Amino acid sequence: MNNIKVYAFVGPSGTGKSYRAQLVASENNIHYIIDDGLLINENDVVAGNSAKKAPTKIETVKKAIFIDKEDRKEMIQALKKIKPDSILILGTSDGMVEKIADNLQLPRPQKTIYINDVATENEIETARRIRTTEGKHVIPVPTFEIKRDFAGYLLDPLQIFKYRKNDTPYISEKSIIRPTFSYLGKFTISDTVFRQITEYVAKKVEGIDRVSRVRVESADGATTVYAEVYVIFGYNIVNVLREFKQKVKKEIENLTSMNVQEVSVLAKGIVMPENK
């Protein structure tokens, strides 16, 4: 862990740090970002739990700086497993970044980039106004296209075409969300999205042949998912369904930033492989 090069990206809350995080990381040849409790690699959430899910602003801060022992343990284990060469930590102050680094057993930042270094005063003020008046936050990861009547806090995906310093274009994907504590409206994700996620997971779980049905219910910001699947003959059904449930829950939360309260899976039938 002591060999990891730590960089800090600092700016007051609501000034557009998460919006510009991938650009700053790219320009400094950094592939991993820690932002609001999440460890992000390119456009993928690798580990952690989004602080934006916390019910209050105080809890959000606690999650962001890894006060909770379980959150801290999970992130440290992920970092030790991945062994990144460098990492960019986002924070509202130098002290906050140093606190995150200390809690995760990382070295103190060797370089600090401030929001004023990468954004104009006009851009910063615009970001502040949107945060204050609309309660919108950005996380630097992509999500699925959504409909506008979901009872939750995911808003919009953004796909932004940008240029690095060497004029090489790249796609920077981000998601706009409203955290639980600043929730202002109601939105909906089509059941098709959940079906696509479960079907994607089914292809990754050995022993699942296909998904035949998905039903989704949402209430009070939490989601329950019911799925029916066909299991391939010869596999332990209980183990296969348990693995499938865990991965479906994790993928939905990672890809949509939604709270998944429960995933129920029914083995609808057994499929005999053609070579049997």
Q: Lowest mean pLDDT: which of 176-185, 201-210, 262-271?
A: 176-185
If asked whether residues 20 and 107 sit together in one domain, one would say: yes
Residue 259's domain comprises 191-271
Q: Residue 205 and residue 270: Cα distance in Å, rounded?
A: 15
**Contact, 225 vs 275, CB < 8 A?**
no
Q: What is the mean pLDDT of the chain?
A: 77
What pLDDT is stored for residue 227 in this prediction?
Answer: 92
The total number of structural domains in the chain stands at 2
Closest CA to 238 of 17, 26, 246: 246
Helix, coil or strand: residue 46? strand
What pLDDT is stored for residue 160 in this prediction?
Answer: 43
Q: Which two tokens stand for residue 90?
A: 């986002």
User: Which is more confidently placed, 82 or 192?
Assistant: 82
Residue type, 51: A
Which pLDDT band holds residue 223 (cuts at 50, 70, 90)?
confident
Q: Has residue 120 got a pLDDT over 70?
A: yes
Does residue 218 form part of some domain? yes
Does residue 221 form part of some domain? yes
Look at residues 157, 182, 207 and tell me which one is the last residue of a structural domain: 182
Does residue 276 form part of some domain? no
Does residue 252 form part of some domain? yes
> How large is the greatest C-alpha to C-alpha distance in the chain, in angstroms?
68
If asked whether residues 195 and 177 sit together in one domain, one would say: no
Closest CA to 6 of 100, 86, 103, 102: 86
Q: pLDDT by residue (tens digit) across 97-107?
A: 999 999 999 99
Q: Has residue 129 got a pLDDT over 80?
A: no
Which pLDDT band holds residue 181 (cuts at 50, 70, 90)?
very low
**Contact, 248 vs 216, CB < 8 A?**
no
User: Which is more confidently placed, 50 or 227?
Assistant: 227
What pLDDT is stored for residue 97 in this prediction?
Answer: 92
Closest CA to 91 of 74, 110, 105, 112: 112
Look at residues 141, 160, 182 and tell me which one is the last residue of a structural domain: 182
Burial code (b: 16+ CB inside 10 Å, e: under 16) for 261-273 equals eebebeeeeeeee
The count of residues in the chain is 276
CATH number of domain containing 228: 3.30.70.1350
Does residue 251 form part of some domain? yes
Which pLDDT band holds residue 157 (cuts at 50, 70, 90)?
very low
Does residue 117 form part of some domain? yes
